[in-house]
Amino acid sequence: MDTKEFRQRGREMVDYIAEYMESVGERRVTPDVEPGYLRDLIPSKAPYEGEGWPEIMADVETKIMPGVTHWQHPRFHAYFPSGNSFPSILGDMLSDGIGAIGFSWAASPACTELETIVLDWLGQMIGLPSDFLSFPENSIGGGVMQASASECVLVCLLAARAQKIKELKALHPFVEDGVLLSKLVAYCSKEAHSCVEKAAMIAFTKLRILDPDADLSLRGATLAQAIEEDKAMGLVPFFVSATLGTTSCVSFDNLAEIGPIAEEAGTWLHVDGAYAGNAMICPEFKYLMKGIEHAMSFNCNPNKWLLTNFDCSTMWVRDRFKLTQALVVDPLYLQHSHSGKSIDYRHWGIPLSRRFRALKLWFVIRNYGVAGLQNYIREHCRLAKCFEALVREDDRFEVCNIVRMGLVCFRLKGNDNNDLNKKLLSNINESGKLHMVPAAVHGKFVIRFCVCAQDAKDSDIEYAWDVITEYATELLEAEIVKEKSGLPLDVLEHSNEEVGQVAHKVEISELMDLMERVHMPIQKQNSIASIGRQGSLASVGRQQSLAIIGRQQSLASIGRQQSLAYIGEVGNNLSEGGEQETANKPRQRPSLAKRLSKRQFSFTDTIEFVGMVNTAQDESMNP
């Protein structure tokens, strides 16, 4: 590709991206593919001769997009937002174009200097104490960009480990490092991100996972007690990781209590604000950061909630020398004459090579301004509150977290309702209408609803709630059906083969009773189908059948596709002379269908059934 073609393809790509972002809402939010789907679509060997751009791009729409989960979709409410905005995309584009690798100041001075400056900007916006910034007089603190929060936690834990071993070494000069290491213990809450556990595992240190309080906040007293117990056993506390905005439910550890205790105990306190840390740019949330003055390090991910594309995890330390001491190795070929007065970010993290990531964050902050970014955060918080209000208005549901940021955890009420909530979530996710993920809160299965889309609107929240309540209603109705009919739901759901073995007869009286219990307007609409919502009596013959009772659950699951067939068959018998015969002929596994029709519904029952609901209209169905 030459420059001339690049100009053309580049413009086309920008158009493609703009078009994608504008119309992403028309796609299914999650892909409907099975593992390995792409293997069948893409050759197993790389092309020997280069291919033309149009052929390559054509494959994007036909092969790649069908397997993409659309994180920028207005119906995407899973995990946390994946930061994205036009200025950020342009920043990364420019960074790629420059293609510099800024591991040291000398390797590309602007790369390092812009990073330092932008981190100071953001640090001030968040309200970090001035020790965390690079530019105040005599400061030994500063900020750096890492690829992920997991990396931030790891390097801070490594720095804390190095510091503590150094301190112990001074006290016990003849004791092996390995022996000293075996005494170290770190702390975090049960609600901390799994990356803390991973970091401790990599660092080969003990980690004590503490219980948070009823609001899922780690409290000072719990930490103090653990530290005291461990010290009494001869262990050496060296690291505490507190979370502002936990991943499962965005709860906040009590930093004001933890801070002084961690500091007093001589540990390195790290504060992980991967998601909610970004919200600290709004003054109204800064109270949650009280106690930060006791921390040694802090991180948040603008690539989660500050409109900046992955990767962009920002981290600040109070003492950069304590960080770099754990990570410096300095071979001759990387040394340069300015190292005394400049920052070499290769000593601040694990990789040597670094992208020019500061550009995108700089573009975002300048283009939105602090006010624009605050509005973005506040809007997400407002919408989460709207969603929370909708959940609270419906007594079938409960809210399971304190909603402060953009996340609402909720569930169908009831103590033993984990399976029901799982089913609700999987039904919704399977539909491709919304995407959410679960979490365990107080040992209960909850559904996480996160406001994610860049320009999320009230109507998106209302739509989401409509979908959720629609599926919940169906599921709850199906539960009644299940209870009433006594059909072994699990067996029915698993496979059509198994269904064939279920010998159960549904009495018509039971079905009628059940229709009453689910309050369906049988008389008015004159349709069986209204038990579940769609279709009509005709559909007993044609498409929908009894399956409609609760759509996917309950009777519907009598052989999903097969239900069509067997009801169809029954319908045929009934509607002799009617119009639907051919359509009703079972297409798949006819023998099973036949078997089902005999086993599940007796002929007379069905006649009576159809007859009853059919009296007013559909003549063709009357025998």
If the CB atoms of residues 71 and 566 are measured against ligand PLP, the closer one turns out to be: 71
Nearer to ligand PLP by Cβ, of 199 and 592: the residue is: 199
Q: Which stretch binds ligand PLP (CB under 6 A): 145-153, 178-186, 377-385, 418-426?
A: 145-153
Q: Does 116 bind ligand PLP (CB under 6 A)?
A: no
- Return the closest-CA partner of residue 310 out of 71, 512, 136: 71
Interaction of residue 241 with ligand PLP, rule CB under 6 A: no
- The verdict on 247 binding ligand PLP (CB under 6 A) reads yes
Q: Looking at 142-150, 367-375, 406-414, 435-443, which segment touches ligand PLP (CB under 6 A)?
A: 142-150
> Contact between 451 and ligand PLP (CB under 6 A)?
no
CA angle (148 as vertex; 189, 90 as ends), nearest 5:
145
Site membership for ligand PLP, residue 195 (CB under 6 A): yes
What is the smallest separation between the CB atom of 73 and ligand PLP, expressed in angstroms?
19
Q: Where are the alpha helices (DSSP H) in 394-505?
A: 418-431, 458-485, 489-494, 496-501
Q: How far is the CB of 460 from ligand PLP (least distance, A)?
A: 22
Least distance in angstroms from the C-beta of 239 to ligand PLP: 15
The CA–CA distances, whole Å, from 336 to 298, 339, 354, 372 equal 29, 6, 17, 40
At closest approach, how far in Å is the CB of 380 from ligand PLP?
Answer: 15
Of 196 and 461, which has the nearer Cβ to ligand PLP? 196
272 binds ligand PLP (CB under 6 A): yes
Residues near 587 by beta carbon (within 8 Å), at least 6 away in sequence: 565
Residue from 313, 543, 553, 600 binding ligand PLP (CB under 6 A): 313
Question: Residue 150, interface with ligand PLP (CB under 6 A)?
Answer: yes
Q: Does 253 bind ligand PLP (CB under 6 A)?
A: no
Place of tokens 């991967």: 274
Q: Which of 148, 342, 374, 622 binds ligand PLP (CB under 6 A)?
A: 148
Q: Which stretch binds ligand PLP (CB under 6 A): 106-114, 239-247, 364-372, 601-609?
A: 239-247
Nearest-5° angle of CA 81, CA 87, CA 88? 50
Greatest Cα-to-Cα distance within the chain, rounded to the nearest angstrom? 99
Asked whether position 108 contacts ligand PLP by CB under 6 A, the answer is no
CA distances from 605 to 116, 262, 505, 523, 579 (A): 78, 73, 10, 19, 22
Print burial letters for 430-450: b (CB count within 10 Å at least 16), e (below 16).
ebebbbbebbebeebbbbbbb
Should residue 482 be labelled a site residue for ligand PLP when binding is judged by CB under 6 A?
Answer: no
274 part of the interface to ligand PLP, by CB under 6 A: yes
354 binds ligand PLP, rule: CB under 6 A: no
Beta carbon of residue 275, minimum distance to ligand PLP (angstroms, whole number): 5
Q: Which is nearer to ligand PLP, 30 or 150 (CB)?
A: 150
CA atoms within 13 A on the CB side of 177: 8
CA distance 580 to 538: 9
Where does this chain touch ligand PLP (CB under 6 A) — which range of 57-65, 242-250, 499-507, 577-585? Answer: 242-250
Cite the beta strand spans of 193-296 per DSSP E.
206-210, 236-243, 268-272
Contacting range for ligand PLP; rule: CB under 6 A; set: 19-27, 268-276, 387-395, 563-571: 268-276
Q: How many residues bind ligand PLP (CB under 6 A)?
A: 13
CA distance 276 to 406: 9
SS3 492: helix
> Which of 193, 448 has the CB closer to ligand PLP?
193
What are the φ/ψ torsions at residue 599 (nearest 5 degrees)? Answer: -75, -40
Rounded Cα–Cα distance for residues 83 and 120 (Å): 20
Q: Which CB sits closer to ligand PLP, 351 or 486?
A: 351
> Is residue 297 a contact point for ligand PLP (CB under 6 A)?
no
Q: Which member of 132, 238, 275, 368 binds ligand PLP (CB under 6 A)?
A: 275
Which tokens sit at 144? Answer: 């750096």
According to the binding rule CB under 6 A, does residue 193 interact with ligand PLP? yes
The distance of closest approach from Cβ of residue 80 to ligand PLP in the complex, given in angstroms and rounded to an integer, is: 6
> 60: helix, coil or strand?
helix
| 301, 427, 543, 554: residue in contact with ligand PLP (rule CB under 6 A) | 301
CA distance 313 to 349: 12
The count of residues in the chain is 623
Half-sphere exposure of 251 (CA within 13 A, CB side): 24
- Contacts of ligand PLP in 592-621 (CB under 6 A): none
Question: Within positions 62 to 101, which residues make up the interface with ligand PLP, using CB under 6 A?
Answer: none
The DSSP string of 154-202 is HHHHHHHHHHHHHHHHHH-TTS-HHHHHTTEEEEEETTS-HHHHHHHHH
Q: 314: closest CA among 353, 280, 264, 269?
A: 280
Q: What is the three-class DSSP state of 449?
A: strand
Q: For residues 351 and 369, which CB has a smaller minimum distance to ligand PLP in the complex?
A: 351
Least Å distance between CB 247 and ligand PLP?
Answer: 4
Binding-site member from 149, 383, 425, 472 for ligand PLP (CB under 6 A): 149
Q: Compute the half-sphere exposure of residue 377: CA atoms within 13 Å on the CB side of its CA.
A: 25
Span from 65-73, 267-275, 388-396, 483-491 in contact with ligand PLP (CB under 6 A): 267-275
Rounded to a whole number of angstroms, the minimum distance from the CB of residue 155 to ligand PLP is 12
Give contact residues for ligand PLP (rule: CB under 6 A).
148-150, 193, 195, 243, 246-247, 272, 274-275, 301, 313
